[in-house]
Amino acid sequence: MKLICIGRNYTEHIKELENEKPVNPVVFLKPDTSILLKKQPFFIPDFSNDVHHEVEILIKINRIGKHIDKKFAHKYYDEISLGIDFTARDLQNELKAKGLPWEKAKAFDGAAVIGKWISKTNFKNIDDINFSLYKNETSVQQGNTNLMLWKIDELIEYVSKYFTLKIGDIIFTGTPAGVGKVVANDKLKGYIENQELFSIIVK
């Protein structure tokens, strides 16, 4: 099982981090050890003083595929969820400045929150889904899948050129604007439309 993450998939998030708009999706991986266990708090790692929340729509792959055409991509997932790609922003910036990979800033233990899975049949259009993150009962991130630079089926097509997708693999589809620092005792709740899919405490 692997977590395939997409960076820079929302224009406003690209702007807020002053990044360049990519020609192709930015792809990186997280190991399964980065998954935050159910009902466990998120512990800020001691190597960072600036961990950010990045809320994202998640897709769970339901069959093995390679070189998947976009028109068939919808057959490769039945469920979606919401999660957080926690990022040690200070460490990431340091690594980027040196031209080094990001994994230490993105793939550390507990850095991937995975919410409850729900059927995609709950939605009329997978490319028009509202989602949001609340921190201490205040809305901090809001997005809609229609704002993705690369839509879900396009991401599956692109990623499957490079990696064989296997049953249980999860794609993190990118975060909208509004990322920000978390501190101890923050409470984070994630919603798709009006349904709460996760609730975690920061320690």
**Cβ atoms of 108 and 95 closer than 8 Å:** no
Task: Tell me 72's DSSP state.
Answer: G
Mean pLDDT on 63-75: 98
Quickly tell me which residue has 């939605």 as its tokens. Answer: 123
pLDDT in tens, 158-179: 999 999 999 999 999 999 999 9
| Each residue's pLDDT tens digit, 179-191 | 999 999 999 999 9
Residue pair 180/144 in contact (Cβ under 8 Å)? The answer is no
Q: What is the CATH number of the domain that holds 9?
A: 3.90.850.10
**Structural domain for 42, as ranges:** 3-201
Number of domains composing the chain = 1
Look up residue 49 and give its amino acid. Answer: N
Mean pLDDT of all residues in the chain? 95
| Residues 159 and 27: beta-carbon distance below 8 Å | yes
pLDDT interval class at 106 (50, 70, 90): very high
- What b-and-e string marks burial along 173-182, b requiring 16 or more CB atoms within 10 Å of the CB? bbbbbbbbeb
